[in-house]
Amino acid sequence: MPRMTAARAAVEILKREGVDVAFGVPGAAINPFYAALKASGEIRHTLARHVEGASHMAEGYTRAKAGNIGVCIGTSGPAGTDMITGLYSAIADSIPILCITGQAPVAKLHTEDFQAVDIASIAKPVTKAATTVLEAAQVPGVFQQAFHLMRSGRPGPVLIDLPIDVQLTEIEFDPETYEPLAVYKPAATRAQIEKAIGFLLESERPLIVAGGGIINADAAELLVEFAELTNTPVIPTLMGWGIIADDHELSAGMVGVQTSHRYGNANFLESDFVLGIGNRWANRHTGYKLDVYRGERKFVHVDIEPTQIGRIFAPDFGIASDAKVALELFIEVAKELKAAGKLPDRSAWVASTQERKATLQRRTHFDNVPMKPQRVYEEMNRAFGPETRYVTTIGLSQIAGAQMLHVYKPRHWINCGQAGPLGWTTPAALGVATADPQTPVVALSGDYDFQFMLEELAVGAQHKIPYVHVLVNNAYLGLIRQAQIGLDINFQVNLEFENINSPELGVYGVDHVKVVEGLGCKAIRVTDPNELGAAFEQAKKLAAEYQVPVVVEAILERITNIAMSKTADISNVSEFEELATEPGHAPTAIKALKV
């Protein structure tokens, strides 16, 4: 039997589980693992500037392609605690990532040794498993189980903590005989699917709510096929956006109290039956007034996690199943019904959803200087097109982007949904661009999100990871300012100051262009909305030429209130800006953008 260090055995398992990229920051307690990584030579490592950044890079890497498992590595103590935000973000959105940390020697764990912290206990609430390995011979089994857990059922993250002496201990391990454990996923039965379709047949105005579980299952094409077979309009959730193209005749818009379309909410409120697949009825989708969301309509809920069914409200029927398995059966039954002539004609209902889609729009074309954010998204739609992957986290920029951008493919809207940590966008975009360098990546940040982890731009410069980063700057914590309106305050949300080194910026304060250039990247500042298009084109060329991130900073008017519900009620969304009713004020047609 071959002998090797436990650290080398762990690296060999990573390779055989399909890992070829890792993100991290070395340190004394994890250096034996790094030595094994170097000796292997088959796993490319990207050096982050912050361990939290490494965890978000791993998230972005996983989210970009089906089958990816992002890996982040850090040393003992604060490296692990820095990863907690990434683990929380991953478990909240059902994203499998593996965090590996170094640790003090086993004999010192109880002595308050330097940087010795019980990271496994700290990480347990935000992982599917968190383990400090105390016996070197257990390392192969712990890593094998980690990959099994990350892929089985509802996907999610795992943390493995390796004391330095455990890493260095030699064990018997034969990598040539290693095999990954079979993945477990619950599967719907034919009887369950037939009953669910019974609800669909009885309804007159059905909708499918398509969630991120469909993307995790790599089943977007199956969802579209089922929708087309039954002629049922589709409402993607924020995490499911892109499952069906925005310009598809069955795309009925997003629903919610913030990241929603006017026509999406209107279509939903007209429905009488909802089939939810791979979604979890998140509160930004349903609002808190569940009596409005539920109304008199019936619900069927299909989700891979049994405890999600009934968590927010009790559906009329629930099925615990992987989305792909369920959709294969849905299609099988639907084809039989269609062949027998038993599928009802939904053409009038579909036409009504598309009429709302054509008329219930928000205005995006403004020529104001300083510019309104709506114009930025209009120009982004023109410049970046249907092949673009958008990456963003939270704030007014993300909410407005979700209302006004257009997405045409799964995994082309990569959004930190539930956790929403500021600073997530930059490292996540680097992870996304690493996973698929052939697809254009465009990140979207407000100025506060951008400032949180902007040091990670240097990672893009060092490792030649090009992408375009759109930075909308109003020198405000815009979403929090808007939320404070109800309290009649405007407190500690204003970022304005006079920068003595850049007086031309006035109250906008931070000179992002200088900072970005200082980190080895390129930057363009735009103050006139009519110059946005040219700036975006220049950014694409600079990214391709220099192979670095390129930031386009749009200087916005200081205060713009973005449409959302003040009462967390999808029937009562406040429209603060002029709507698209006057000639010349409508947004660029969705269809026209897909050229």
pLDDT at 115 over 90: no
**Rounded Cα–Cα distance for residues 149 and 146 (Å):** 5
Q: Give the residue-averaged pLDDT of 272-277.
A: 98
Q: Active-site positions?
A: 25, 51, 422, 477, 480
Amino acid identity, position 133: V
pLDDT number for residue 209: 98
**Rounded Cα–Cα distance for residues 61 and 217 (Å):** 16
pLDDT at 586 over 50: no
pLDDT number for residue 467: 98
pLDDT number for residue 1: 74
Mean pLDDT, rounded, of the chain? 95
CATH number of 373-562: 3.40.50.970
Q: Give the residue-averaged pLDDT of 198-207.
A: 97
**Cα Dmax for the chain:** 77
The DSSP bridge partners found for residue 556 are 371
Q: Give the residue-averaged pLDDT of 104-125.
A: 90
Q: What ranges make up the beta strands (E) of 212-297?
A: 234-236, 273-277
Q: Give the residue-averaged pLDDT of 250-255.
A: 98
pLDDT at 31 over 60: yes
pLDDT tens for each residue of 46-75: 999 999 999 999 999 999 999 999 999 999
Matching fold, domains 3-173 and 190-359 = yes
Cβ atoms of residues 404 and 379 within 8 Å: no
pLDDT tens for each residue of 359-394: 999 999 999 999 999 999 999 999 998 999 999 999
Q: For the chain, which residues make up each domain, given as ranges?
A: 3-173, 190-359, 373-562
In this structure, of 339-348, 424-433, 477-486, 522-531, the range with the lowest mean pLDDT score is 477-486
Structure token pair of residue 541: 């060329």
pLDDT number for residue 578: 86
**Rounded Cα–Cα distance for residues 340 and 354 (Å):** 28
Strand 441-446 and strand 468-473: the pairing is parallel
Q: Give the residue-averaged pLDDT of 336-360.
A: 97
Percent of the chain residues past pLDDT 90, beyond the cut: 92
pLDDT at 317 over 80: yes
Local confidence band at 8 (pLDDT 50, 70, 90 cut-offs): very high
**Rounded Cα–Cα distance for residues 304 and 154 (Å):** 6
pLDDT number for residue 593: 32
pLDDT number for residue 580: 84
pLDDT number for residue 192: 98
Structure token pair of residue 503: 């007086």
Q: How far apart are the first and last CA of the chain?
A: 59
> Residue 268: which H helix or E strand, with range?
helix 262-270
**Rounded Cα–Cα distance for residues 590 and 358 (Å):** 9
Local confidence band at 112 (pLDDT 50, 70, 90 cut-offs): confident
pLDDT number for residue 110: 83
Q: Write the burial class of residue 20 (CB in 10 Å: 0-12 exposed, 13-18 middle, 19+ buried).
A: exposed
pLDDT number for residue 287: 94
Strand 97-103 and strand 158-163: the pairing is parallel
pLDDT at 419 over 80: yes
Q: How many CB atoms lie within 10 A of CB 481?
A: 20
> Residue 468: which H helix or E strand, with range?
strand 468-473
pLDDT number for residue 56: 98
Q: What is the DSSP letter of 578?
A: -
Residues 26-37 as b or e (16 or more Cβ within 10 Å = b): bbebbbbbbbbb
Homologous superfamily (CATH) of 190-359 is TPP-binding domain (3.40.50.1220)
Local confidence band at 456 (pLDDT 50, 70, 90 cut-offs): very high
Cβ atoms of residues 508 and 555 within 8 Å: yes
**Rounded Cα–Cα distance for residues 185 and 329 (Å):** 15
pLDDT number for residue 307: 95
The DSSP bridge partners found for residue 97 are 70
Local confidence band at 581 (pLDDT 50, 70, 90 cut-offs): low
CA 572, 576, 582, 587 dihedral sign is negative
Cβ atoms of residues 523 and 551 within 8 Å: yes
Q: Was domain 3-173 assigned CATH 3.10.20.30?
A: no
**Rounded Cα–Cα distance for residues 442 and 397 (Å):** 13
Q: Give the residue-averaged pLDDT of 411-435.
A: 95
pLDDT number for residue 588: 45
The whole-model pTM stands at 0.95
pLDDT at 163 over 70: yes
Continuous H helices in 93-211: 119-123, 139-151, 164-168, 190-202
Q: What ranges make up the beta strands (E) of 357-451?
A: 389-392, 413-415, 441-446
> Residue 158: which H helix or E strand, with range?
strand 158-163
pLDDT at 38 over 80: yes
